[in-house]
Amino acid sequence: MSEKSLLDEAKEIWPRAYAPYSGFNVGAAIRSPSGKIHVGVNVENAAYPEGTCAEAGAIAAMIAAGDTEIAEIAVVGDAPDPVTPCGGCRQKIAEFAPKGTRVTMGTMKGEALTLTIEDLIPHAFAKAQMEG
């Protein structure tokens, strides 16, 4: 039996999103260096646009489980082109993803695009910029 891809993990969690306002579900899955998988979905709120992105949910699950580094992340939505993380989520991913970390963005129909975190957010704000 073959191991599920990270994109498959994101697709599996995707239906659990709570998106009654936009109608646009997003699923995310993170693999930590230990091999653990952490998933998240977008969760909207009546005070739209308040809510949580799938990537942020997966990062929160990763931190709650005791992991602090993203080895790889996948994000999926039901769109004609691969769904990319919003700007805020790109920054959140960059906080925990070392250079070279793969970010795979996909569609429910199987199209995918994989970039490194530095390709996705080439000039991310980092902790080093706050140090004197």
Catalytic residues: 55
Helix, strand or coil, per DSSP, at residue 125: coil
Tokens of 64: 């709650």
Q: Which residues pair with 66 in a beta bridge?
A: none
Neighbours of 20 (CB within 10 A): 10
What's the rounded Cα separation, in Å, for the pair 27 and 14? 4
